[in-house]
Amino acid sequence: MLPKALLSLGLWLRFAAGRDAPEPGPQPSISNSEGDLLFLLDSSASVSHYEFSKVKEFMWDLLRPFTFGPRDVQTGIIHISTTPTMEFPFDRYPSGGALRKAIGATRQLMGDTNTGQALAFAKEKLFSGEAGARPDVPKVLVWVTDGFSTDDISEPMRLLKDLGVTVFIVSTGRGNFLELSAAASQPSEKHLHFVDVDDLPIITQELRAGILDAIQANRLHATDVTSSSFRLTWPKLLSQETGYYSLEYGPRAQPARKSTRQVSGAHTSLVLSDLAPETTYEVALIPESNVHYFPPQTTSVTTLAEEISPVQVLISESGPHSFHVSWAPVLDSVATYQVLYGPLPGNSVKVLQVDGRHNSTVVEHLAPNSTYLVTVTAIYRSGKEKSLSAKACTQEESSRVRHLRFEDAGPNSLKASWDSADGAVLGYRVRCRRHSGPSSVLSVSAEVRSVLLTDLPPGTAGKVCVQPVYGSRPGRRLCRTLRRQPGHAKDALSLAQMQEQTLQLEQQAKLKEYEAAIEQLKNEQIRVQAEERRKTLNEETKQHQARAQYQDKLARQRYDEQMRQQQLANEENLRKQEESVQKQEAMRRATVEREMELRHKNEMLRVEAEARARAKAERENADIIREQIRLKAAEHRQTVLESLKTAGMLFGEGFRAFVTDWDKVTATVAGLTLLAVGVYSAKNATAVAGRYIEARLGKPSLVRETSRITVLEALKHPIKVGKRLTSKAQDALEGVVLSPQLEARVRDIAIATRNTKKNKSLYRNILMYGPPGTGKTLFAKKLAVHSGMDYAIMTGGDVAPWAGRGSQPCTNSSTGPTPVGEASNQPEQFDWAINDRIDEMVNFDLPQLEERERLVRMYFDQHVLKPATEGKQRLKLAQFDYGKKCSEIARLTEGMSGREISQLAVAWQAAAYASEDGVLTEAMMDARVADAVQQHRQKMEWLKTEGAEANKGTERSPVLPFPKGTAV
C-alpha cells in the first residue's frame, strides 16, 4: 500500500484515470529492429524556446519503446541553423537512459533556417562510418520543422530519397503544404504530419508505426500483439516453387517448449495463437531454399497482459441520495476492491473498501440531482491494480402538495386548490376519478395552484389527486375523496357555465405556455447535458494528464534512484579494484626491490672475487710486468730520437738548397710583392666604382625624399616601382582638407602648373607657409604628382653646412625648367634673395570647425571604420552614433592641426588593439581626445615660452641664422 502521506494523492490519481472502457495493457518494447534514425531538428531563431522544449519531449516519447544498440536502432540529431551541426553521432548512446539525458541536454543554436545545407550535411552523415552509420541497414530521416527554409531543399531531398532514405516530416502547421508533400516520402499522407506543437503526442503512435514499417520492411517482425496471439510478417524471399519456411518459436524462459511449423514459400505472414499472456517468445524464421541460401531471421515478441477484472461497471437503483454500484467478473486473485467517487466537476473524492469476494456496494449520502464519477479499482494479491470508471446520476428529491381543498363553484362545478410542493417543480398534474363516468386529467404550470372541475352534478362521488412534476420523475400524489350534495339553484347554471368557459380559456392559454416552457426546458437540459459532457471530458483529460505526469515523475525518480544505486555500486567496485591494484602494485614493488637487493649483493660478491683474483695475479707476475714496461719505454725513446734526426736533416738540406739558388729567391720575392699590390688595388678600385655608380644612379645625398625612379630603387623595390608606373594621375587635393577659399586658390595653382608643363612654359615658384601640420608638404607632393613631374624634398638644415664652402656659393637665377616650392613654418627667416624669387605665396592656416569635422570623419573612416568593417584585423567598433561623435570631437579639437587629428585617429586604433576584446568604445575615444587636447595645450605653452625667448634674442642680434645669399 502507499504511504499515508501519499494516500490521498494516489487515490485521486486512480480516480482521475477512470474511463468508460478498459485501459489497454502495457505497450511492449520494440526489439530486433535494426536501422539508423536521424532527426533533423529545426534549431533556428524562428522556433521559440517553448516549441523547442516541446519538440524534445516529443522526440523522447517517440523513441521510448525502441531498443538501442549496435544491432538495434541507432539515432542521431542534426541542428538546422546558419551552419548545420551534429548534436551527437549514431553510435554514442547505446542505451535509452543515456539517450534521454542527451536529448534533454540539447540546446537551441538559433541562427538562420538553412535547411538545404542541413539536408546535404545529413546525406553525408547517414552514410559516414565516422558518424556511426552502418552500411546495409534502413535509413530513416525525421525532419521536425516550423515549415520555413531560407534556402532550396528540393535537390538535397531528392538525392536523399534516391539513396533509399525514408523521409518523415513533422510540421507545426505553418509551412507550404505542396512543398512539404513533395519533400516527404510517398505516400505523403503517411509520411507528412501537420500538427500544433501542443498536440504532438497525438501523432506519436502513428509516426512510430511508420518508422517501424520503414525499419522492419526487410526483417521479420511482429504486429497485432495481444495477450494470446501475434502476427509475424517477413519480406518475400521464396516462392512456392523455390522452397518453404521453417518457423521455430517458444517461450524464452522455457526453451524445451519450442514448437516448429512449416510455412509455404508463397506466404509472407502468419498468426500464432494460443499463447501465454505476459510471456516473451523467441521466434526464428529459417528459409529453406533450393536455389539460394538465405540467413535465418530472428525476433523477440512479448505478449500483452490478460484482461482482468473489472471489465464492466453497472450503476442501478439510483435515488436522490444513493445508487447501487456493481462490477464483473469476480476473481479469486483479487484481494480487495476500492470504490472511489466524487462529483463532476469537483475535487472531492471519497473511498469505499469492498471485500474481494463481493462485486457490489451501495454508495450513500449523496447530493440529489448530481453527476458522479465512480472508479472501481481491483487490487490483486500480486500488487497489480486495474481500474474502470463509470458515471452515475442521482435523482431529484421529490415531494407532494399540501392542503388540498375544494370550493363550490356552481351547480355542476367544483374548484380544487392546494399549496405548492417543495423543490424545483415544473408543473402539476390533476386527476379526477369518478365512481361512475369518465376520468379527467389536467396539467397546469408551476405558478397555477387551482383548477376548476366541471361535469360534477349533485350526487357525484369520486377522488381528486394532485401530483407535482419534476425534471427527472413525478413527485408523490396527494388525493382527497369528492362527494357532491344535490340541491343547487337552477339560476346559477348559466353563471357557472360562463365561469367555466372563462376558466377553460385561461387554462388552455396557460397550458400552451406550459408546453412552450417544457420545450424550452428540454432544450436547456440538452444544452446543459452537452456542457456537462464537455466539462466531464475536459476534467477527465486533465486528470489523465495529471496521472501521466505523476507516473512519469515516479518513473523518473525510480530511474534516478536506479542510476544512483548503480553509480554507488560502480564506485564501490572501482574502489575495490583500486585497492586490489594498489595491493598488487605494492607486492610487485616489494618483489622487484628484493630482486634488486639480491642482484646487487651477487654483483658485489662477483666484483670482489674478480678484484682479489686480479690482485693475486699482479702480485705473482710483478717482475714480469716491470720488465715489459722497461722494454716498451726504451723502444719508444729510440723511435722518437730517430724521427727527430731524420726531420732535421731533411729541413736543413732543403733550406741550404733554396738559399744557394738566387733565382728561386728573386722569383719568390717578386711574386709576393705583386700579390700584395693586386689585393690592395682591387679593394680600393671597387669602393671608388661603387661610390661613382651610386652617385650617378642613386638618389643625391642632400635629397630627403624624391618621386624620381632610379635604377637602384627599381632593383630594390620592383613591385612598388611597377605600381607607380601603372597608376593614374591623382587629383592635387585628394586627401587634403582646406578651407573653401584656400582650396579654390590652390586648385587654380595646380591647374596652372599642369597646363604650364603641357605647354612647356615658364614655371612659377611657390612659397607655402603656415603652422606645422596644416598640409603644406602634402599639397606640394600632390601638386607634383598631379602635374606629372618628379619632386625632390630638401631641408635647410642639410643645405646650411654647404653654404659658403665653394667659390660660387649661390646663383642669381634658376638655371633650368625646374619649379621650386618652399614649405616653411617660419618664412620670415628666409633670405631676401629667396623671397624675391617667389612668385606665389599661399598661407596654410589651422583648420576651422568645418575643416576639422571633415578631417575627423576622414581619418576615422581610414584608421577605424574601414579596418573594423573589412574584418581582416582584430579591430571592432562598438554601437554608437558615429556622425554625432565626430562632430563633437571636431568642436573639442579647436586649434589642432590636421597632423594632430591624424595622430588622434591612430591613437584610437592603438587603444582598440590594446584592449582585451579589440572593441573601440565611445569612452575610449573620449579618453584619447582628452589626452590629445591636453598635449596640444602643453605644446602651445612650450611654443609661447620659446617665442618669448626668441624675441629677446632678436632684440639683441637681428642677424638671420642663414648666411646671405644661401639658396634653399
Question: Which of 5, 18, 24 shows the shortest CA–CA distance to 341?
Answer: 18
Residue 678, CA atoms < 13 Å, CB-side half-sphere = 6
pLDDT digits (tens, 9 = 90+) for 552-561: 887 788 788 8
Alpha helices in 328-391 (DSSP H): none
Judged against a pLDDT cut of 60, whether residue 827 lies above it is answered with yes
pLDDT class for 797, splitting at 50, 70, 90? low
- Determine the pLDDT at residue 363: 92
Alpha helices in 197-353 (DSSP H): 201-215
pLDDT at position 39, please?
A: 92
End-to-end CA distance of the chain: 114
Could you tell me the pLDDT band of residue 251, with boundaries at 50, 70 and 90?
very high
Number of residues written out for the chain: 968
Q: How confident is the model at residue 142 (pLDDT cuts 50, 70, 90)?
A: very high
Long-range contacts of 454-458 (CB under 8 A, 24+ apart): 454/412, 454/413, 454/500, 455/412, 456/412, 456/413, 456/414, 456/482, 456/484, 457/411, 457/412, 457/484, 458/411, 458/412, 458/484, 458/485, 458/486, 458/487, 458/488
Nearest to 842 by CA among 960, 734, 741, 968: 741
Among 36-50, 621-635, 866-880, which is the least confidently predicted range?
866-880
**Predicted confidence (pLDDT) at residue 584 exceeds the cutoff of 80:** yes
Q: Look at residue 367 in the predicted model and tell me its pLDDT.
A: 84
* Residue linked to cell 500544433: 196
Q: Given a cut of 80, is residue 859 above it in pLDDT?
A: yes
Most confident of 7-16, 164-173, 512-521, 743-752: 164-173
Dihedral angle computed from the Cα positions of residues 343, 344, 345 and 351, in that order, rounded to the nearest 10 degrees: 40
pLDDT surpassing 80 at residue 499: no
**Does the pLDDT of residue 766 top 80, yes or no?**
yes
Under the banding of pLDDT at 50, 70 and 90, the label for residue 362 is very high
**DSSP 8-state class, residue 126:** H
Lowest mean pLDDT among 11-25, 41-55, 848-862, 896-910: 11-25
Reported in sequence order, the residue ranges of 394-496 that DSSP labels E, i.e. its strands, are 402-408, 414-419, 427-434, 440-445, 450-453, 461-469, 478-483
Give the chain's mean pLDDT.
79
Please state which of the ranges 189-198, 383-392, 696-705, 901-910 shows the lowest mean pLDDT: 696-705
Q: How confident is the model at residue 724 (pLDDT cuts 50, 70, 90)?
A: low
The rounded distance, in Å, linking the Cα atoms of 751 and 732 is 9
How far out from the chain centre does Cα 29 lie?
31
Residues 840-856: what's their mean pLDDT? 86
Please give the pLDDT value at position 339.
92
Which pLDDT score is estimated for 915? 85
Percent of the chain surpassing pLDDT 70: 83
pLDDT at 474: 75
Confidence of residue 960 (pLDDT cuts 50, 70, 90): very low
64-75 residue pLDDT tens: 888 888 778 888
More confident residue, 291 or 1: 291
For residue 630, the model assigns a pLDDT of 86
Q: Can you give the pLDDT at residue 397?
A: 67
